[in-house]
Structure formats: C-alpha cells, structure tokens
Amino acid sequence: MNNEEASKPLNFIETIIEEDLKNNKHSGRVHLRFPPEPNGYLHIGHAKAICLNFGLAEKYNGKCNLRFDDTNPVKEDTEYVDSIREDIHWLGFDWEDREYYASDYFDQLYEWAVNLIKKDKAYVDESSADEVAAHRGTPTKPGLESPYRNRSVEENLDLLERMKSGEFKDGSKVLRAKIDMSSPNMHMRDPVMYRIKHAHHHRTGDNWCIYPMYDFAHGQSDFIENITHSFCTLEFEVHKPLYDWFLDNIIDDPEVNRTRTRQTEFARLNLNYTVMSKRLLLQLVQEKHVSSWDDPRMPTISGLRRRGYTPESIRNFADRVGVAKRENIIDIGFLEHCIREDLNKKAQRVMGVLNPLKVTIENYPEGQEELLAAVNNPEDETMGMRKVPFSKTLYIERDDFMEDPPKKFFRLAPDREVRLRYAYFIACKDVIKDTSGNITEIICTYDPASRGGNSPDGRKVKATLHWVSAKHAVEAEVRLYDRLFNIEDPYKTEEGKTFLSNLNSESLQIRKGYIEPFIKDTEPLDHFQFERLGYFCTDKDSTPEKPVFNRTVTLRDSWAKHANK
RNA sequence: UGCCUCGUGGUGUAAUUGGCAACACGUCUGACUCUGGAUCAGAAGAGUCCAGGUUCGAGCCCUGGCGAGGCAGCCA
C-alpha cells in the first residue's frame, strides 16, 4: 500500500477488512471472489464489483478468485464464460489458476444436503410449484407448513437419492430446508435447496438432473474456497440469514464457524440514460435494437471496449464512484469525464472532417503540395511529430463556417481570417452556392508568410480550424454514438409502454469522414483524438481499404453549450 | 400495513474516541492557449429528511415520526 492509498479515507468495506486484519481474524489473509453467473455479458455495474473485489485483493496483498455461479443450466452457456474471462482480463485483473465453478462443488453440496436430512433439517416436498408458492404466505402473512414436512429421515433420504437418479419429472419434487414457515423473512420459510431439471449443463453435462439453488450453493462455495469476505449487492441482504443458517448447520467446528466467511452487501452501480439489467440488455440484443452485446452503445464491458473506453478509465471510474450502501445513480457524464481524462493524456491527435465543406485557396499555386509538421500529442512530447499534406483544395468542417455569424462565433465567415491548424492563415473571399442556395464551396486566400500557423507580423486570429487536404484525405466510415436512451430514467414510461419507447433513435449516426493519411495503418482498438471533435477508436469492422471509427466521446464543447442556450 | 437496509450541496463519496461539514464530477467567472480541448486561478451551491432529547458542543448518541429501496422464482 502506498502513501496515497494509506491516507485516503476508507470506505465501509475497507473498514471491515482492516478491522478483521487488526483482530487477526483470518491470520492476515484477505481472500475474495467475484462470482458471476455465466448467463450474459458483463456490464459496467459488474466492472464496479470486479474492481472492488480484485482491487481490494491487490490493496491488501490478498487473492481474488473467479468463480462462475453456474447452478442453473438452462440459462448458462460457455459463450458467456469466455466473454467474462476476456472482460476481466482486459480490465487488467488476474485470478491465476483460481478459476472455479459452483458446479465443481456439486458432489460436496449433495453430501451436505444428505447430512442436513440426517439432522432432520431438510425434507423432500412433492407439492407443486404453485402449492409451494401458495403455502409460502406473503411478507405480511406467515406461511403454512407443507404436508410433506414431517416425513421420516429414511424416506427423505430415499426420495432425494431417487431424485438424483432421475426417477422423477422436472418440477415434481424439491428438497427444502426445514426452517420456519412463519419467519418474517420470506427466505427462511423452508427455502428450496434442490430442484429437478433434466437439462444439459455446460460443464457437468448430463451427470446431474438435480441442481442446487443459489442459496444452497453460494455460501458453501465461499466456504470451500476459504473466502474471508463475501461482497455482494444489496438485494441479497435478506438472504444473509439463510447464508448463515446453511453454513452454521453444515460446519460442526465452532472455531471454524467463527472465522468463516461473512457476507457484506453494497449498493450496485446505476447509470442514468441506460439500463443495467442483464435481462433487458439481452432483450436489446435479441430484438436487434442494438447490433450485439458489444454494440458500442451498450453499457457492457465489451461494448465500452469497442466504443473506445480504456481499462484504466473504467478502473478509475469504479474507484472514484466509491462504494456505500445507499442507492445511487451516477451521471453518465462522470464516466465520460473519466475517459476524456485518460485519452487526453494518451491519444494520438489527428485531423479529420466529418461534414465537409470544400475550400479552394485561390492564391495557392495549382498542383503544389507540401508537408506541414504537426504535434502528435501536446500533452505528451515523447509522442513526437508527424507531417500533414497541404494543397489548394481542402475540406473544413461545415460548422466552422457561417455566412452570417452571430456575435460570439469566432470561426470562419466572409472577410474574416482564421488559422488552419499547423498550416496557414486563410481569409474567406467568396461563397459559392447551388441553385437552391446551399453553400457548396468557399473561396479563400492564404498568407504564405503564416506557414506553420503563425504570422510574422504578430497579428492574431480568434479561431483555429482543423482541415484536411481533399486529394490526400482517407475516406472512412465514422460512427457517431450518443446515449442509448432519451431520458435519464429509461424505466419511466407512459401507460402501456415499455423501456423500449425511450430508446434514442439517433443513438447511431453514420458519416463519411475525410481523415489525414496518418491513420492509414490503423488497427482495431487504436485510439485517436480527431482534433476539436472528440476521441475516436478504430472499430473491429475496419479494413485498410475502408477504415471504420467509433466516436468514443466528444470533446468538451463550450461553444455548443453556449449555442444551445 | 411484517421483516431488512438506507436518508449529507445538482450527482457521487468523506467527515476514524461527538469539535468550524471536506473531496470529485457538474455549474458559473476569469487567465492562458495554434484544439471554443487541455491547463491554471476563483466563485456559487448543503447546515446533514423532520420533531424532540442527552451534551458546553450532535451529521455522528437516544426516542418518535416521515421518505426511499429490497423481500412472496423450483432465477442469480
């Protein structure tokens, strides 16, 4: 731990860990785990949990396991385990050889279930699912005991064995813990431990036809792996008494029980202008509202990666949003701040025009070309310089010219002079329009003495524009992304509508861009700043013949802010 | 009308045995600038959900309210 870390105030989770360390509860060990279910792609909310668990392990010189919580074969798939592995590694974390699966523990769990029956703490119930639900009561009304609750140990043992051997149909029987049907905590009302599912499991194949429930697998998995602290999100808070009940009834040694893992809950991450539920993200993918799980508009880690987010920016974001128990909604602008901050330091600068306006420099010699020196990154001298070609016919951004400019518009206008970055001062002399009055071209003159961007007489210009030589420009597809939803809270809908009605129909706009030749050899995941426009990232669809860029985020734009007022 | 958890600037997170409510993002000024970017300097913005109580002193302790979220899958 460095000094900066040591002086930073602790969050409530670090306080718990340090307290346990101080009391030597686990002999100085900190051993955590990140336990995703492989039923979907990881999103930025998971990134918070990943950074929390792996980050804490790093900070306290401990370990963090990756454990797939794969107790429900009908929802899970190896495609998801592969993506989860890739995403965590990409974020920069490593679980070494500690990649575990809840399904690794099926034998042990079964043995514990048998033991619980022997202690008369579990029974086989053959009520239907509807009956079980009806008998459970409601949060305000106690439940009713099942008619099968008091079978003999022998009968229960026999029935469980036969459930396991495949004798019964799905849904016909369950194994339940015998706890308290009148508990004020619904989860303690004889929770289901095992259900019958004749389904193929991505790892255990057809070995099993009964599968443990989350509650009967999670705490025990933590225990088996010798986890010291089990961090999960708030919705599991009401499960904690059950987490403890199973372990208390499984572990016979009181000393082991005293030091075993404890669950601590924290508030999950929420972001405005997006949704963070795997179910809804799956729906967006399946119904083709987005192209895939890694569509750059998705809040998935793979989507953010493709969008151009860096691991550092996400880790920094996770670190800075902090962790607490109260519900929170983080402004997506804060995530954007984090990526701008990182890319500002790292990104290669390049000039590109996305909405071109042709400029002819009338006093520039026909056929002449020259190379002008440009800085690759003003924030990082070591990134060096490059040459940008200049010629008589250029493109500038259409927004950078106004025939009749308002008061605070500094850019190009008739008879006004501006600088072309790293090139020359130019002044607008004429405007050419088509028959319907649209501007098709502007005619400018340049000042040869201002080569490189400064005029020897010291005169100032109020604006510097980016530009590209028409002849040398590389054509590219540029994908401009915006927020996926129109409103902060996509769940807020009119009567009878779903979150889909809040989808932003303009979240993707495709443009043909003209980029300086420097980007010719770009490869997927390269980051650039297109000067004055934003940060861009080469897409995986990109080819040398047809480069494709995704806009990660715009630059901050105080003019746009002013213009919108 | 049950149980659990949580209420601190617009947003998020702090305030370690009670001691002038701090930091970040955002917002607004100004400086600088070959990116209306970055950077730098500054400002506004909460008296800590409410009401009582203990105390010289309460965001923190006590009591009572109010509000928000979670819990009734053979999902996790």
Confidence of residue A494 (pLDDT cuts 50, 70, 90): confident
Which one is catalytic: A121, A268, A387, A451? A268
Q: For position A7, what pLDDT does the model report?
A: 65
Chain B nucleotides covered by protein, CB below 7 Å: 1-8, 10-16, 24-28, 34-39, 68-76
Find the Å distance, CA of residue A559 to C1' of nucleotide B32: 18
Look at residues A431, A466, A501 and tell me which one is the last residue of a structural domain. A466
The 10 Å Cβ neighbour count of residue A126 is 16
Query: Measuring CA to CA, which residue among A180, A185, A125, A167 is closest to residue A149?
Result: A125
Q: For position A495, what pLDDT does the model report?
A: 81
Q: For position A314, what pLDDT does the model report?
A: 98
User: Which nucleotide lies at the shortest CA–C1' distance from A15?
Assistant: B16
User: A344 and A371, same structural domain?
Assistant: no
**What is the arrangement of strands in the sheet containing A63-68, beginning at the earlier edge strand?**
A31-34, A63-68, A99-101
How big is the CA angle at A102 (ends A80 and A237), to the nearest 5 degrees? Answer: 95
User: A494 and A431, same structural domain?
Assistant: no
Q: How far apart are CA A130 and CA A148, in angstroms?
A: 15
User: Which nucleotide lies at the shortest CA–C1' distance from A420?
Assistant: B34
A317-358 tens-digit pLDDT: 999 999 999 999 999 999 999 999 999 999 999 999 999 999
Residue type present at position A242: L
Inside any domain, residue A407: yes
Inside any domain, residue A387: yes
Residue type present at position A215: D
**CATH code, domain carrying A219:** 3.40.50.620
User: A261 and A224, same structural domain?
Assistant: yes
Find the Å distance, CA of residue A262 to C1' of nucleotide B71: 20
CA–CA distances in Å: residue A213 to residues A240, A264, A336, A384, A551: 15, 20, 39, 58, 43
A272 in Cβ contact with A332 (< 8 Å): yes
Find the Å distance, CA of residue A20 to C1' of nucleotide B20: 34
Find the Å distance, CA of residue A193 to C1' of nucleotide B19: 53
Find the Å distance, CA of residue A9 to C1' of nucleotide B20: 20
Inside any domain, residue A320: yes
Tell me what the mean pLDDT of segment A372-391 comes to.
98
- Let me know if A37 is a catalytic residue: yes
**CATH code, domain carrying A369:** 2.40.240.10
A429-467 tens-digit pLDDT: 999 999 999 999 999 999 999 999 999 998 999 999 999
Tokens representing A126 are 């053959």
Could you identify the residue whose CA is nearest to the C1' atom of nucleotide B3?
A184
Tell me what the mean pLDDT of segment A106-133 comes to.
98
Q: For position A422, what pLDDT does the model report?
A: 98
User: A404 and A496, same structural domain?
Assistant: no
Inside any domain, residue A213: yes
User: Which nucleotide lies at the shortest CA–C1' distance from A334?
Assistant: B25
User: Which nucleotide lies at the shortest CA–C1' distance from A265?
Assistant: B5
Tell me what the mean pLDDT of segment A236-243 comes to.
97
Confidence of residue A489 (pLDDT cuts 50, 70, 90): very high
Helix (H, G, I), strand (E, B) or coil at A137: coil
Q: How far apart are CA A314 and CA A31, in angstroms?
A: 23
Q: For position A8, what pLDDT does the model report?
A: 79
Inside any domain, residue A471: no
Q: How far apart are CA A125 and CA A176, in angstroms?
A: 7
DSSP A250-283: H---HHHHHHS-EEEEEPPP-BTTS---HHHHHH
User: Which nucleotide lies at the shortest CA–C1' distance from A142?
Assistant: B2
User: A359 and A342, same structural domain?
Assistant: no
Inside any domain, residue A273: no
Model ipTM?
0.96
Q: What angle in degrees, to the nearest 10, is found between the helix axes of A311-321 and A44-59? A: 80
User: A249 and A202, same structural domain?
Assistant: yes
A65 CB-contact burial (10 Å; exposed 0-12 / middle 13-18 / buried 19+): buried
Query: Measuring CA to CA, which residue among A226, A228, A264 is closest to residue A243?
Result: A264
A133-168 tens-digit pLDDT: 999 999 999 999 999 999 999 999 999 999 999 999
User: A258 and A126, same structural domain?
Assistant: yes
User: A251 and A296, same structural domain?
Assistant: no
Phi, psi of A443 (to 5 degrees): -105, 125
Q: How far apart are CA A213 and CA A191, in angstroms?
A: 9
Per residue, the 3-state secondary structure of A148-173, as one string, reads CCCCCHHHHHHHHHHHHCCCCCCCCC
User: A300 and A186, same structural domain?
Assistant: no
Q: For position A2, what pLDDT does the model report?
A: 44
Q: For position A48, what pLDDT does the model report?
A: 98
A540-558 tens-digit pLDDT: 999 999 999 999 999 999 9
Look at residues A236, A266, A296 and tell me which one is the last residue of a structural domain. A266
> Looking up tokens 């990232």, which residue turns up?
A537
Find the Å distance, CA of residue A9 to C1' of nucleotide B15: 9
Confidence of residue A1 (pLDDT cuts 50, 70, 90): very low
Inside any domain, residue A495: yes
How big is the CA angle at A441 (ends A435 and A442), to the nearest 5 degrees? Answer: 125
Which one is catalytic: A48, A151, A173, A278? A278
User: A66 and A208, same structural domain?
Assistant: yes
Look at residues A237, A266, A295 and tell me which one is the last residue of a structural domain. A266
Find the Å distance, CA of residue A70 to C1' of nucleotide B8: 40
Residue type present at position A324: A
For chain A, the average pLDDT equals 96
Inside any domain, residue A272: no
Q: What is the residue range of A547's domain?
A: 278-348+476-563
Helix intervals (H) in A92-196: 106-118, 129-135, 153-164
DSSP A303-337: HHHHHT--HHHHHHHHHHH---SS---B-HHHHHH
Tell me what the mean pLDDT of segment A394-410 comes to.
95
Query: Measuring CA to CA, which residue among A148, A239, A230, A250 is closest to residue A188?
Result: A239
Query: Measuring CA to CA, which residue among A390, A400, A389 is closest to residue A361?
Result: A390
User: A209 and A80, same structural domain?
Assistant: yes
- The structural domain count of chain A equals 3
Confidence of residue A386 (pLDDT cuts 50, 70, 90): very high
Confidence of residue A563 (pLDDT cuts 50, 70, 90): confident
A191-202 tens-digit pLDDT: 999 999 999 999
A563 in Cβ contact with A410 (< 8 Å): no
User: A71 and A28, same structural domain?
Assistant: yes
Q: For position A552, what pLDDT does the model report?
A: 98
A79: CB partners within 8 A, 6+ apart:
none
Q: For position A564, what pLDDT does the model report?
A: 77
Q: Is A181's pLDDT higher than 80?
A: yes
Q: Is A291's pLDDT higher than 60?
A: yes
Residue type present at position A524: P
Buried/exposed code over A3-41 (b: 16+ C-beta within 10 A; e: otherwise) = eeeeeeeeeebbeebeebbeeebbeebbbbbbbbbbbbb
Helix (H, G, I), strand (E, B) or coil at A531: coil
